[in-house]
């Protein structure tokens, strides 16, 4: 249909709908929310002339056939909004529709005429005609309601009695939702929102290698669960638990050859005992794994499993499906490389194989297999090295059947690629936090993540360390550096994670100068960790996780706000609930070596207090209480004593 034909067909649709939010890439991708959230939809809605407008949000869960309709409220400058509750997991659709409301316009003008003392007898007849015109669009009971009103407006009753009928709010509401269908403007597309469970928004992750627990079995790893639970974590993430290949197995500190007693990298997946759907015999059996998952639940821990779609040369796929790999002219498989790094123990899968559909189905079955073992959270290794379309298909397909499944994207790559993966469906994403160590960098980065359109689809999960990343800041800053980075991660992000026990024990020695690799990395050997060390950060971690659970302000990212201190070595920021009944202010010394002082600036709007009000700042880390007044407050933080404040802003009783 041409533009002219469209205009002629819809010429009576006078309303314009623009600027509908939230939406991602013009509705190409879904926005993200969690169960219990209220979905706020806004739009610019206007028409020619001065007539009243009736605007509505239509929404439905994918399991529902019919639509719910919710009237929008007018804000300012032709901006309208409405909110509805997201009370089910899965996908919702929503859109906006609007029309000129003749009865609403007549009712508005009637009030003005009456106030001006004008004769309104004719107006009652006009109103009756509008009601009569709408009656054919209504159900029987509603049509009867209009018939009674029509008769009243056309009857011989006194003007005051007719005014009561004409200005009845229920009648106005009924007419506002009774348009002529050929005059309804609908927004050009239906938008979607994916609703996840709370742990997609708020979670604390702990990474652990089971093979470094006791004798390296799931049964011994289960003895570590109380230790992790006592620190307040709710997701325990395990690196790959599959059989490890022996061909080109890497030795200690990534040596190109391994001794017979060296275990190899868990990411070199696959051996004669099986591949991605098997458990390494050294760890136990599938039954032992299921028992481990069950034990974790008893400690309020959920197991997250690493899914790495790559194979050792010994993986069954290599023999059973050689077409899934890229073969070189010398009749060998191309191993993984990131020049100058070589990973001879890993074969990448060839997603451009002619047999790609069978490959996709098999890889999806890997997730389904572990879902069948009780896993509902997956950390996906290097998803940016696999096709975008693969992830969009896989995640959407799995979440249709299992909407409670969560996916964490481990993609340290270019920003647009990280964002694309999040748009495609990953529930959470690793971030550049590890490399943001200065106040300006942290402020700019987390402002982008939480105060721009990115917050509609990208849920950040900052980690101060991983088995692959030991940043120079931690290598040189001593114990204070670990405390500083931990408090930043746990309070900037509603979700965050640490690789332990390396983190709480302040493991800080690199393999060589200039490297971010740990010396004696657990990726290539087992470690005997001294968990009862007096140097451990376990008490601090437990306290901060308890603070996070007790304060709703720290359980979301959308209300993160940064504040000035007058000192670049101090960073200050706050989080609050929407009604400001919970306000938490963080001030952190970014210098792990020297004390720093400054003036924290908080406006009355920041703290929900009148100007010059006296209020209390309760430090939840130390228990100290400060009585403050006004906007500027002196702070002094010593990295060797107290490098940070986590302050609850409270009214004085």
**Contact call for residues 325 and 347 (beta carbons, < 8 A):** yes
- Per-residue pLDDT at 8 exceeds 70: no
Where residue 343 falls among pLDDT bands split at 50, 70, 90? Answer: confident
Using CA atoms, how far apart are residues 268 and 313, in angstroms rounded to an integer? 8
Give the chain's domains with CATH numbers: 3-99+186-195 (2.60.40.10), 103-178 (1.20.58.80), 198-549 (3.20.20.80), 561-651 (2.60.40.1180)
- The tokens of 93 are what? 């659709």
**Contact call for residues 571 and 593 (beta carbons, < 8 A):** no
**Contact call for residues 250 and 313 (beta carbons, < 8 A):** no
Where residue 145 falls among pLDDT bands split at 50, 70, 90? Answer: confident
User: How many other C-beta atoms lie within 10 A of the C-beta of residue 290?
Assistant: 16
**Contact call for residues 631 and 601 (beta carbons, < 8 A):** yes
Pairing mode, if any, of strands 341-343 and 336-338?
A: antiparallel
Strand boundaries in 65-217, DSSP class E: 68-71, 73-74, 79-85, 90-100, 185-186, 191-196, 203-207
pLDDT in tens, 58-88: 999 999 999 999 999 999 999 999 999 999 9
Burial of 554 (0-12, 13-18, 19+ CB in 10 A): buried
Using CA atoms, how far apart are residues 370 and 402, in angstroms rounded to an integer? 12
Mean pLDDT calculated for residue range 554-580: 97
Using CA atoms, how far apart are residues 464 and 468, in angstroms rounded to an integer? 11
User: How many other C-beta atoms lie within 10 A of the C-beta of residue 38?
Assistant: 10
Where residue 611 falls among pLDDT bands split at 50, 70, 90? Answer: confident
Mean pLDDT calculated for residue range 92-119: 94
Helix ranges, 88-139 (H): 102-115, 121-135
Burial of 359 (0-12, 13-18, 19+ CB in 10 A): buried
CA distances in angstroms from 469 to 97, 383, 432, 509, 515, listed in the order given: 50, 18, 11, 12, 9
Where residue 104 falls among pLDDT bands split at 50, 70, 90? Answer: very high
**Contact call for residues 615 and 609 (beta carbons, < 8 A):** yes
Can you state the percent helix, strand and coil of the chain, rounding each to 5?
A: 35, 25, 40
- Coil, helix or strand for 77? coil
**Predicted local confidence at residue 141, as pLDDT:** 80
Where residue 338 falls among pLDDT bands split at 50, 70, 90? Answer: confident
**Contact call for residues 209 and 277 (beta carbons, < 8 A):** no
Q: Single out the residue of 536, 555, 529 nearest to residue 483, CA to CA.
A: 536
User: How many other C-beta atoms lie within 10 A of the C-beta of residue 604?
Assistant: 13
pLDDT in tens, 176-205: 888 777 789 999 999 999 999 999 999 999
Where residue 4 falls among pLDDT bands split at 50, 70, 90? Answer: low
> Computed from CA positions of residues 506, 512, 515, 517, in that sequence, does the dihedral angle turn out positive or negative?
negative
Where residue 303 falls among pLDDT bands split at 50, 70, 90? Answer: very high
**Predicted local confidence at residue 621, as pLDDT:** 98
- Per-residue pLDDT at 415 exceeds 80: yes
- Coil, helix or strand for 351? coil
Average confidence score pLDDT of the chain: 95
Q: How many Cα atoms occupy the beta-carbon half-sphere of 343 within 13 Å?
A: 17
CA distances in angstroms from 366 to 275, 307, 527, listed in the order given: 10, 9, 29
**Predicted local confidence at residue 138, as pLDDT:** 76
Task: List active site positions.
Answer: 381, 410
> Computed from CA positions of residues 471, 339, 524, 369, in that sequence, does the dihedral angle turn out positive or negative?
positive
- Specify the residue for token string 């499944």: 405
Pairing mode, if any, of strands 90-100 and 53-61?
A: antiparallel
**Predicted local confidence at residue 6, as pLDDT:** 55
Where residue 175 falls among pLDDT bands split at 50, 70, 90? Answer: confident
Q: Which helix (H) or strand (E) holds 370?
A: helix 356-372
pLDDT in tens, 361-410: 999 999 999 999 999 999 999 999 999 999 999 999 999 999 999 999 99
Q: How many Cα atoms occupy the beta-carbon half-sphere of 199 within 13 Å?
A: 21
- The tokens of 109 are what? 């003008």
Between CA 442 and CA 29, with CA 38 as vertex, the angle to 5 degrees is 65
**Predicted local confidence at residue 189, as pLDDT:** 95
């Amino acid at each position: 249909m041409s533009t002219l034909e469209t205009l002629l067909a819809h010429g009576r649709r006078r309303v314009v709908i623009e600027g509908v939010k939230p939406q991602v890439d013009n509705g190409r991708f879904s926005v993200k929310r969690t169960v219990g959230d209220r979905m706020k939809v806004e739009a610019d809605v206007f028409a020619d002339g001065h007539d009243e407008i009736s605007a509505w949000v239509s929404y439905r869960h994918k399991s529902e056939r019919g639509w719910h309709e919710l009237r929008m409220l007018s804000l300012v400058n032709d901006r309208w909004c409405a909110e509805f509750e997201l009370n089910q997991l899965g996908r919702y659709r929503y859109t906006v529709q609007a029309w000129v409301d003749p009865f609403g316009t007549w009712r508005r003008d009637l009030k003005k005429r009456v106030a001006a003392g004008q004769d309104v007898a004719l107006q009652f007849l006009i109103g009756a005609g509008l009601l009569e015109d709408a009656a054919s669009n209504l159900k029987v009971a509603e049509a009867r309601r209009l018939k009674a009103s029509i008769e009243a407006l056309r009857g011989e009753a006194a003007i005051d009695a007719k005014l009561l009928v004409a200005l009845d709010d229920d009648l106005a509401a009924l007419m506002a939702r009774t348009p002529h269908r050929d005059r309804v403007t609908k927004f050009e597309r239906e938008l979607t929102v994916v609703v996840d469970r709370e742990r997609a928004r708020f979670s604390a992750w702990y990474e652990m290698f089971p093979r470094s627990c006791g004798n390296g079995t799931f049964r011994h790893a289960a003895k570590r669960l109380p230790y992790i639970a006592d620190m307040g974590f709710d997701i325990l993430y395990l690196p790959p638990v599959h059989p490890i290949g022996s061909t080109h197995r890497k030795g200690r500190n990534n040596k190109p050859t391994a001794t017979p007693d060296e275990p190899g990298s868990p990411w070199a997946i696959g051996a004669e005992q099986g591949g991605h759907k098997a458990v390494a015999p050294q760890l136990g059996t599938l039954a032992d794994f299921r028992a481990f998952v069950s034990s974790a639940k008893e400690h309020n821990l959920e197991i997250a499993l690493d899914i790495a779609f790559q194979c050792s040369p010994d993986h069954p796929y290599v023999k059973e499906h050689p077409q899934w790999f890229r073969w070189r002219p010398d009749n060998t498989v191309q191993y993984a490389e990131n020049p100058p790094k070589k990973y001879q123990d890993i074969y990448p899968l060839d997603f451009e194989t002619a047999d790609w559909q069978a490959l996709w189905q098999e890889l999806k079955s890997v997730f389904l297999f572990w879902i069948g073992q009780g896993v509902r959270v997956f950390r996906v290794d290097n998803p940016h090295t696999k096709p975008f379309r693969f992830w969009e298909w896989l995640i959407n397909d799995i979440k249709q059947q299992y909407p409670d499944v969560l996916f964490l994207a481990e993609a340290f790559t270019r920003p647009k690629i990280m964002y694309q993966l999040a748009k495609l469906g990953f529930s959470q994403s690793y971030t550049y936090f590890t490399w943001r160590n200065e106040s300006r960098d942290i402020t700019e980065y987390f402002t982008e993540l939480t105060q721009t359109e990115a917050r509609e689809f990208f849920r950040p999960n900052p980690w101060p360390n991983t088995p692959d990343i030991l940043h120079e800041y931690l290598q040189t800053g001593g114990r204070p550096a670990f405390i500083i980075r931990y408090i930043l991660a746990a309070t900037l992000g509603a979700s965050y994670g640490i690789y332990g026990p390396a983190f709480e024990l302040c493991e800080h020695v690199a393999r060589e100068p200039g490297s971010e690799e740990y010396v004696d990395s657990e990726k290539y050997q087992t470690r005997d960790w001294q968990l009862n060390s007096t140097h451990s950060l376990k008490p601090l971690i437990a306290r901060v996780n308890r603070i996070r659970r007790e304060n709703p302000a720290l359980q979301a990212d959308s209300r993160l706000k940064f504040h000035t201190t007058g000192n670049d070595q101090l960073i200050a920021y706050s989080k609050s609930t929407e009604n400001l009944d919970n306000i938490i202010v963080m001030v952190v010394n970014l210098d792990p070596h020297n004390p720093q002082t400054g003036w924290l600036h908080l406006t009355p709007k920041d703290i929900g207090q009148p100007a010059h009000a006296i209020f209390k700042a309760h430090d939840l880390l130390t228990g100290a209480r400060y009585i403050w007044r006004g906007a500027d407050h002196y702070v002094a933080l010593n990295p060797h004593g107290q490098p940070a404040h986590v302050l609850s802003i409270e009214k004085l009783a």
